């Protein structure tokens, strides 16, 4: 494990000064910890604040930056003001990341820091991630990916660094809960956010609430499906999601999986 960490440290050390794209997830948090260790004061963290991200992610990002004593810059993401993003085409992620990295480049210049780094890892490169193209175009450095670390190795490294949320389930933008081609609205995103927060409060750690208009389709770990479908959770979830505006509520017996919509034609 020390070898994994040393490879990442060596990559970061060459950069001199960095802005870390801090999402509040395990990957970018691990990168920030290592960057702070290697570069000291020549590190800043930056987080986009927008209605497309879970509120808990921002809270974790703020807490970690404060704990490490790193400057944490929050900025408006602007995605919900972009009609092409709201159209929710299959290049949505590319548009989002392009906007993000343009703003991060501005921040890096204003802070006098040469590079932007993010938490992309080797596992991400094996999935459908249009945002990777945007990162490449913007010259973003991904130390975990360059070091060949996949998600399991990153979690182990995060644990060794003392990150309390090292085993936090992976998160994604709330827009991924809405099928491509279905317009995004702040109202839909808030329905999703409130519904997932409620489910997590009931103890479901891995959860996605897929938005299909009047129907909410819930994905949880397959082992948790019986608990979701029986009292008292069945009634509690049904009542809550109906108060959020859904007429129909269903659980997906396939359980949670990443990229539910990415294989659709």
Residue 39 domain flag: yes
Query: What value does the mean pLDDT of the chain take?
Result: 94
Sign of CA dihedral 177, 183, 194, 26: positive
Query: Does residue 110 sit in the same domain as residue 189?
Result: no
The pLDDT-based confidence of 119 (bands split at 50, 70, 90) is very high
> How many domains is the chain partitioned into structurally?
2
The 3-state DSSP class for residue 88 equals: coil
* Residues 112-136, mean pLDDT to the nearest whole number: 92
Q: Is 33 in contact with 39 (CB distance < 8 Å)?
A: no
Query: Does residue 202 sit in the same domain as residue 115?
Result: no
pLDDT at 2: 61
Give the residue among 87, 20, 14, 24 at the shortest CA–CA distance from 50: 24
The 3-state DSSP class for residue 217 equals: strand
Statement: residue 210 has pLDDT above 60: yes
Q: pTM of the entire structure?
A: 0.93
Q: Is 213 in contact with 184 (CB distance < 8 Å)?
A: no
Statement: residue 265 has pLDDT above 60: no
Query: Does residue 42 sit in the same domain as residue 90?
Result: yes
pLDDT at 131: 86
Query: Does residue 178 sit in the same domain as residue 217?
Result: yes
* Residues 12-36, mean pLDDT to the nearest whole number: 97
Query: Does residue 45 sit in the same domain as residue 142?
Result: yes
Q: Is 24 in contact with 46 (CB distance < 8 Å)?
A: no
Query: Does residue 150 sit in the same domain as residue 188?
Result: no
* Residues 7-28, mean pLDDT to the nearest whole number: 97
Cβ neighbors of 14 (< 8 A, separation 6 or more) are none
Residue given tokens 């009542």 in the structure block? 239
How many whole angstroms separate alpha carbon 210 and alpha carbon 223? 19
pLDDT at 260: 60
Q: Is 114 in contact with 16 (CB distance < 8 Å)?
A: yes
Name the residues annotated as catalytic: 173
Residue 192 domain flag: yes
Q: Which string of DSSP letters, residue by residue, matches 60-87? A: HHHHHHHHHT-EEEEEE--GGG-HHHHT
In tens, the pLDDT along 227-253 reads: 999 999 999 999 999 999 999 999 999
pLDDT at 258: 75
Residue 26 domain flag: yes
Query: Does residue 154 sit in the same domain as residue 178?
Result: no
* Residues 60-83, mean pLDDT to the nearest whole number: 96
Residue 258 domain flag: no
Residue 104 domain flag: yes
Query: Does residue 60 sit in the same domain as residue 113?
Result: yes
The pLDDT-based confidence of 263 (bands split at 50, 70, 90) is low
C-alpha separations of 21 from 191, 195, 251 in Å: 26, 27, 34
Which pairs count as long-range contacts for 181-187, CB under 8 Å and 24+ apart, including other chains? 181/88, 181/89, 182/88, 182/211, 182/213, 183/86, 183/87, 183/88, 184/52, 184/80, 184/85, 184/86, 184/87, 184/88, 185/86, 186/51, 186/80, 187/245
Residue 221 domain flag: yes
Range(s) of the domain holding residue 238 = 174-251
């Amino acid at each position: 494990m020390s070898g994994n960490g040393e490879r990442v440290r060596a990559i970061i050390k060459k950069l001199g000064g960095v802005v870390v794209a801090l999402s509040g997830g395990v990957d970018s948090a691990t990168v920030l910890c290592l960057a702070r260790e290697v570069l000291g004061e020549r590190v800043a963290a930056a987080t986009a604040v927008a209605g497309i991200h879970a509120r808990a992610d921002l809270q974790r990002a703020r807490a970690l930056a404060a704990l490490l004593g790193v400057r944490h810059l929050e900025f408006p993401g602007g995605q919900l003001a972009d009609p092409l993003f709201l159209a929710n085409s299959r290049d949505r992620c590319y548009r989002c990341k392009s906007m993000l990295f343009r703003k991060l480049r501005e921040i890096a210049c204003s802070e006098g820091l040469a590079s932007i780094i993010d938490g992309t890892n080797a596992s991400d490169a094996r999935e459908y991630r249009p945002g990777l193209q945007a990162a490449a175009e913007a010259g973003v450095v991904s130390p975990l990916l360059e070091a060949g670390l996949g998600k399991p190795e990153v979690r182990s490294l995060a644990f060794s660094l003392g990150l309390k949320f090292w085993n936090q389930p992976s998160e994604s933008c709330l827009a991924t809960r809405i099928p491509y081609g279905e317009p995004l609205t702040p109202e839909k995103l808030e329905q999703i956010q409130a519904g997932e927060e409620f489910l997590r409060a009931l103890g479901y750690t891995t959860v996605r609430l897929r938005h299909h208009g009047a129907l909410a389709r819930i994905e949880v770990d397959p082992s948790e499906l019986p608990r979701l479908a029986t009292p008292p959770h069945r009634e509690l979830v049904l009542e809550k999601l109906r108060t959020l505006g859904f007429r129909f509520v269903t659980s997906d017996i396939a359980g949670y999986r990443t990229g539910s919509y990415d294989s659709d034609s």
